Amino acid sequence: MNGNIIMLTEENYEGEVLSKQGLIVIDFYADSCMPCKLMAPAFAEVALEYEGRARFAKINVYDSKKLALKNKVLGMPTLLFFKDGEEADRVSGPLDAVQLKGRVDALI
């Protein structure tokens, strides 16, 4: 996995998402989800391109069911965009790199 993508868990979620300033894009995914697998390269590409301007993270919904429920994630993949600790955008379903960049650009 891309070295600048944070793996979020119930233990580090609050400190990495709710307590930090700036933009963090979170990919709620599952290893068995084909659309998640198809989106993964675009997510990694955009994470590299925006290094230093936005943070990128992943949450495995099966490993962190409480976080998926807390964030009302109903399908995968779901991307949540938090700016300064508050949810600023959300999209369900896979995005390509151009679509993801557009959403990131609108928030940074």
Distances (CA, A) of 50 to 30, 93, 101: 24, 21, 9
Q: Is 36 a catalytic residue?
A: yes
Contacts of 14 (CB under 8 A, 6+ apart): none
Q: Is 55 a catalytic residue?
A: no
- Catalytic position from the list 8, 17, 25, 33: 33
Radius of gyration of the chain (CA): 12
**CB neighbourhood size of 80 (10 A):** 21
The DSSP 8-state label assigned to residue 9 in this structure reads -
- Catalytic position from the list 17, 36, 54, 67: 36
Catalytic residues: 33, 36
